[in-house]
Each structure stands twice: as structure tokens, then as C-alpha cells.
Structure 1
Amino acid sequence: MEYSINKGIGKPAEFKGLKSQYLFIFAGGLLSVFIVFVIMYMIGINQMFCIGFGIVTAGILVWGTFYLNDKYGEHGLMKLQAVKNHPRYIINRRRIIRLASRIKRKEDLCGTY
């Protein structure tokens, strides 16, 4: 017997070149634009304004999502967010003697057998 191998196993979700988190940003953004469009239409705002708003915001969303996908790649946006969470520098306000005594206490607790 001969079995075909699925080449898509282990690869990220992709649609028209958009990968992973960009695909979710794209879909969620379009859904939110549609919801805002429907709310604006139901409130009674001019129909042409609603259509224009929907087309312009959807176009900006599509352009922005593909731009981010090209600029940062598959995991680049998550790496960019992670860099913002790192501290720029670490401040240690303990005295040097206290740091040394803490190290010594750890050695005493671990002990050598």
C-alpha cells in the first residue's frame, strides 16, 4: 500500500500569503469593520457615507495587515511585542554585603554531600 503524505502538517495557517497572527488580525478587523458598518446603517447615517466608510477602513486594514506581514514575517510581530516587555535596565538597590550573605545562605541550604 502507498499512503500520501500531507505536506501541511506542522505548518502555520496561511491565506493568500498572510500567516498566523496576521490572519487573525485580518479576519477580526474585517469583522469589526462590518459590525461598525451595520451599526452606523441601523442608526440612520447616510447610506453612501456608511459604504464609503466601510470601503476605506477595510482597504486600510487590508493594506496594513499585508504591510505588517511583509515587514515582520511570521513571528516578527510577536518578537516586537516581546521586546517592549523587557526592562531597559535592571536596578539593584541591595548592599553588596547583603547580596554576598544571600549567596552564602543558598550554599548552606543546598549543602554538599
Structure 2
Amino acid sequence: MIKTYPINKGVNKPMEFKGFQAQYIAYMGIGLLGVLVLFTTFYLTGMPMLINAIICGLAFATLYSKVYALNRTFGAYGMMKQMALRQVPRAIKLRDRRFLLNLKKSTYL
């Protein structure tokens, strides 16, 4: 009896939903919750429904366009890479040789 096992071909692919990849799905979800809270706040304060719908619709359209632009610009991991690259110093300045001499004496190397 030969057993066959299905092969999952999408193991290392980034998660994707409706064109949004990786962390942008979370950004979209958090933004939608924000728009929902905005809508609820306006509704409970007594704002007319038409104005409320227009404001929240514009907020959602802006959110969607900005997150989609980030997704298209950076891709799945590009924004995280760019934020990490900002943390790397452009140059290391040494004012004297003591640091290098201490490196030579240290047991870490």
C-alpha cells in the first residue's frame, strides 16, 4: 500500500488578501476599526446620517488608497527593510585608538 501526501506549494509565500500583502492586511483592519469607531461616535453625537456617511466614506477611501500605495511601493517586506535600514549608522567615527587596542586585548575575538 503506497501512501500519498499532498504538497503545500505556498509554504514560504507571504499572506495575501485582495491584493494586500503581509502587514498591510493588519493596517487595513486597524484602519477599518478606526473608521467604524468614527462612524459610531458621529452617530451617537447626533450628526446627520448623510454627512456622517460622507465623512466616513472619504476616510475609508483615503485609508484604502494610502495602504494600497504603501503595498504597491514597498511590497511584502520592503517597508520593514527600509525601517531597519534607517537604524544602521552611515559611518562609525573613532576619535582615538583606545577602542581598537581594547578590541585586540578582548577575549571575544
Runs of 4+ in structure 1 over 6 Å off:
none
Deviations 1:67-102 (A, max 9, x none): 11111111111122223333455444x3x3xx2x44
Given the alignment, which residue of 40, 55, 63 partners 2:65? 63
Gaps of 5+ in 2: none
Q: Does 1:82 align with 2:84?
A: yes
Question: Which residue does 1:18 correspond to in 2?
Answer: 20
Distance 1:73-1:37 versus aligned 2 partners, 3 A rule:
same
Shift of the alpha carbon at 1:10? 2.7
User: Matched residues in 1 for 2:87 and 2:36: separation?
Assistant: 33
The answer for unaligned runs of 5 or more in structure 1 is none
Displacement of 1:39 in angstroms is 1.1
Whichever structure has more helix as a proportion of its residues is: 1
Question: Given the two structures, how large is their TM-score scaled by the length of structure 1?
Answer: 0.77
**SS, match of residue 4 in structure 2:** coil
In 2: Cα distance, 1:108 partner to 1:70 partner? 50
Q: Residue 16 of structure 2 aligns to which amino acid in structure 1? A: E
Q: How many residues align?
A: 105
